[in-house]
């Protein structure tokens, strides 16, 4: 316990804190760009899952199953150490962005798919009976409602994505965890190093957790479609 509370060690940490901040900067860049890729892929494959042309949901299925059922570490190692064998070299930062982007894209695709399926079939039929084509039905009727339903699980995915960027440390990706590991190793100050890393991730993730909870609360306040479907008078 004396090691944990050693003032000398903590002073050393504060002295070297710029390293941790540099790591935080990398983590933030990877998380933000990774999230953009994940959202783009997730929406694309989520929509493809619900298309009637059989081959497209199939392609989406393969993507989702492949990336959900292999560990992120294995995927990232493959980009970093596997691809150079076939002549593809990706900078470490890009490996991180692509890694979490592709991985969480698969999860977001599932969130989007279930959000689309949660919109009652009758509304799609109503729109079709008015003469709207598939893309218009998606754009005007289904997706605007999907967005509301999927916001809480999407924020949750964003938080997991932030935490998963720590996989970068294993390929020397200059992120929070990488600097924590190297600083702790060099000085032998493991308590100080990893506690600080944990705190930095917490600072990034806690607001997202709170946002998820808030969005869930808000989603509950919207009267459910079920009431309408029963033909009962719906409460406001």
Partner 1 sequence: MIKIENLNKYFGNLHVLKDIDLHVKSGEKLVIIGPSGSGKSTLIRCMNYLEEPSSGTVYVDNQELTRKNKTQMAKSTSAMVFQQFNLYPHMTVLKNLTLAPVKLQKIPADKAKEIAMEYLIRVGLADKAEEYPHTLSGGQQQRVAIARALTTRQKIILFDEPTSALDPEMVQEVLDVMIGLSKENITMVCVTHEMGFARQVADRVIFMDEGKIIETGTPEHFFKNPENERTKIFLSKILH
Contacts of 79-88 with CB under 8 Å at 24 or more apart are 80/171, 81/171
Q: Which of 55, 129, 188, 221 binds partner 1 (CB under 8 A)?
A: 129
The yes or no reply on residue 148 touching partner 1 (CB under 8 A) is: yes
Give the CA angle between residues 205, 47, 75 to the nearest 5°: 50
Structure token pair of residue 23: 């790591």
Nearest residue (CB) to partner 1, 145 versus 160:
145
Collect all residues with Cβ–Cβ distance below 8 Å to 164 and sequence separation of at least 6. 72, 100, 103, 104
Residue count at the site for partner 1 (CB under 8 A)? 29
Cα 138 from chain centroid? 23
The yes or no reply on residue 126 touching partner 1 (CB under 8 A) is: yes
The yes or no reply on residue 53 touching partner 1 (CB under 8 A) is: no
Number of other CB atoms surrounding residue 187 within 10 Å: 14
Q: How far apart are CA 30 and CA 178, in angstroms?
A: 13
The yes or no reply on residue 140 touching partner 1 (CB under 8 A) is: yes
Q: Which of 210, 218, 220, 227 binds partner 1 (CB under 8 A)?
A: 227
Across 21-111, the runs of DSSP E, i.e. the strands, are: none
The yes or no reply on residue 16 touching partner 1 (CB under 8 A) is: no
Q: Which of 6, 12, 145, 182 binds partner 1 (CB under 8 A)?
A: 145
Helices (runs of H) and strands (runs of E) counted in the chain = 11, 0
The yes or no reply on residue 149 touching partner 1 (CB under 8 A) is: no
User: Where does this chain touch partner 1 (CB under 8 A) — which range of 9-17, 82-90, 142-150, 170-178?
Assistant: 142-150
Q: How far apart are CA 192 and CA 126, in angstroms?
A: 61
Q: Which of 16, 117, 128, 216 binds partner 1 (CB under 8 A)?
A: 128
Q: Which of 6, 16, 61, 132 binds partner 1 (CB under 8 A)?
A: 132
User: Which stretches of the chain bind partner 1, using CB under 8 A?
Assistant: 120, 122-123, 125-133, 136, 140-141, 144-145, 148, 223, 225, 227-234, 236
């Amino acid at each position: 316990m004396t090691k944990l509370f050693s003032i000398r060690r903590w002073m050393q940490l504060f002295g070297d804190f710029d390293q941790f901040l540099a790591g935080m900067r990398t983590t933030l860049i990877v998380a933000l760009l990774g999230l953009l890729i994940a959202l783009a892929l997730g929406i694309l494959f989520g929509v493809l899952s619900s298309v009637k042309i059989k081959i497209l949901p199939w392609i989406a299925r393969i993507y989702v199953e492949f990336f959900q059922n292999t560990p992120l570490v294995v995927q990232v190692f493959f980009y970093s150490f596997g691809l150079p064998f076939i002549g593809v070299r990706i900078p470490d930062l890009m490996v991180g962005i692509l890694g979490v982007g592709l991985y969480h894209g698969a999860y977001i695709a599932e969130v989007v798919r279930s959000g689309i399926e949660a919109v009652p079939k009758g509304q799609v039929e109503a729109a079709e009976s008015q003469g709207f084509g598939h893309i218009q039905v998606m754009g005007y009727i289904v997706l605007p409602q999907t967005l509301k339903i999927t916001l809480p699980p999407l924020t949750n995915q964003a938080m997991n994505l932030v935490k998963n960027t720590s996989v970068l440390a294993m390929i020397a990706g200059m992120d929070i965890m990488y600097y924590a590991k190297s600083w702790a190793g060099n000085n032998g100050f493991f308590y100080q190093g990893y506690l600080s890393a944990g705190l930095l991730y917490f600072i990034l993730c806690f607001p997202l957790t709170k946002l998820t909870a808030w969005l869930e609360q808000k989603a509950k306040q919207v009267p459910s479609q079920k009431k309408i479907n029963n033909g009962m008078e719906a409460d406001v």
